[in-house]
Structure 1
Amino acid sequence: MSINDRDLGIAAAGAGAAVVRAHYGAPLARLGKDGDDFATVADIEAEKAILETLRAARPDDLVLGEETGRTGEGGGDRMWLVDPLCGTLNYAVRNMLASVNVALRAGGRISVAVCADPFNDEVFWAGDGTAYVRRDGVDQPLTPSAESRLVDLNLDPPFPNRPGFLAARMLSDDVFLDRFRPRVVSTTLAVAWVAAGRRAAYVTDGHLADSVHFAAGIALCEAAGCVVTDLDGRPPHSGRGGLIAAADPDTHATLLSLVSAQRLSR
Structure 2
Amino acid sequence: MQGRRLATIDEIIAIVSPDSDESLASLESWTQDQNIDLFTVDVGNTIDDVYNENRATLGVTLGGDGTFLEGIKSFAPRDIPQLGVNTGSLAFLARVEPADLRAALDETLRGRASVDSRQQVHVEAPGVDATGINDVMIQHVPPENPIDRKITQLDVFADGEYVGEFEGTGVAVSTPTGSTGVSLSANGPIHYPVNNHTLQLVPLHTHQIGVRPVIFSPETELRITTKGQASLLIDGGRANTILSDDDEIIVTGADQLAHVVRTSYDDHFFTAISKKLGWDVRDDAETAATTVSETESATNTFTGLESTDDDGDTIDRALTIAKEAAEAAGEPLRDLHGQTESVDVKSDKSDIVTEADHQADRIITTVIGNEFPNHAIFSEESARQTNAKSDYTWVIDPLDGTGNFAHGNPNYSISIALVEKDEPVMGVVYVPETDELFSAVAGGDATKDEVQIETTDRNRLDESMLISGYDPDGSFLSNFYQESRGVRRLGSAALNLCYLASGSADATWEYDTYPWDVAAGLVIAEAAGAEITDETGQPFEFSLKTGDRKALLGSNGTLHSALLEHLESGLSVPQQRPASTHSESE
Q: TM-score per shorter chain, which class?
A: 0.7 to 0.9
- Please state how far the C-alpha of 1:218 moved relative to its aligned partner: 1.3
Amino acid at match of 1:145: T
- Please state how far the C-alpha of 1:103 moved relative to its aligned partner: 0.2
Who is 1:84 aligned against? 398
The 5 Å alignment of 1:101-140 reads 101-135=415-449, 139-140=450-451
Counterparts of 1:116 and 1:262, CA distance in 2: 34
Who is 1:15 aligned against? 328
**CA distance change for structure 1 residues 263 and 187 in 2, over 3 Å: closer, same or farther?**
closer
| Match status 1:141 vs 2:452 | yes
CA RMSD of aligned residues (A): 2.3
Q: Which is greater in Rg?
A: 2
- 3-state DSSP of counterpart to 1:30: helix
CA contact (8 A) 2:465 2:484 kept: no
Counterparts of 1:191 and 1:69, CA distance in 2: 26
- Aligned identity (percent) is 24
Who is 1:52 aligned against? 366
The 5 Å alignment of 1:56-205 reads 56-75=370-389, 77-135=391-449, 139-145=450-456, 147=458, 149-155=464-470, 168-173=474-479, 176-188=481-493, 189-205=495-511
- 3-state DSSP of counterpart to 1:245: strand
**CA distance change for structure 1 residues 60 and 26 in 2, over 3 Å: closer, same or farther?**
same
TM-superposition CA deviations, 1:43-98 (whole Å, max 9, x none) = 11100000111011001111001110311445351100000010101011111000
CA contact (8 A) 1:66 1:212 kept: yes
- 3-state DSSP of counterpart to 2:470: coil
| Match status 1:220 vs 2:534 | no
- 3-state DSSP of counterpart to 1:67: coil
**CA distance change for structure 1 residues 11 and 26 in 2, over 3 Å: closer, same or farther?**
same
- Please state how far the C-alpha of 1:240 moved relative to its aligned partner: 7.8
- Please state how far the C-alpha of 1:22 moved relative to its aligned partner: 2.2
Pairing partner for 1:257 from 561, 565, 568: 565
Amino acid at match of 1:230: D
Counterparts of 2:445 and 2:330, CA distance in 1: 20
Pairing partner for 1:5 from 318, 342, 367: 318
Alignment: residue pair count:
242
Counterparts of 1:75 and 1:23, CA distance in 2: 38
Counterparts of 2:376 and 2:443, CA distance in 1: 23
**CA distance change for structure 1 residues 240 and 146 in 2, over 3 Å: closer, same or farther?**
farther
Counterparts of 1:185 and 1:263, CA distance in 2: 20
CA contact (8 A) 1:207 1:237 kept: no
- Please state how far the C-alpha of 1:172 moved relative to its aligned partner: 2.3
**CA distance change for structure 1 residues 260 and 49 in 2, over 3 Å: closer, same or farther?**
same
Where relative contact order (Cα < 8 A, 6+ residues apart) is larger, the structure is 1
Counterparts of 2:418 and 2:549, CA distance in 1: 24
Amino acid at match of 1:192: C
TM-score normalised to structure 1 length: 0.83
| Match status 1:30 vs 2:350 | yes
Structure 1 unaligned regions, length at least 5: 32-37, 158-165
CA contact (8 A) 1:15 1:53 kept: no
Counterparts of 1:23 and 1:141, CA distance in 2: 31
Structure 2 unaligned regions, length at least 5: 1-300, 306-316, 341-347, 543-547, 573-586
Who is 2:128 aligned against? none
TM-superposition CA deviations, 1:26-59 (whole Å, max 9, x none) = 145426xxxxxx9521011100000111011001
Who is 2:536 aligned against? 232
- 3-state DSSP of counterpart to 1:130: coil
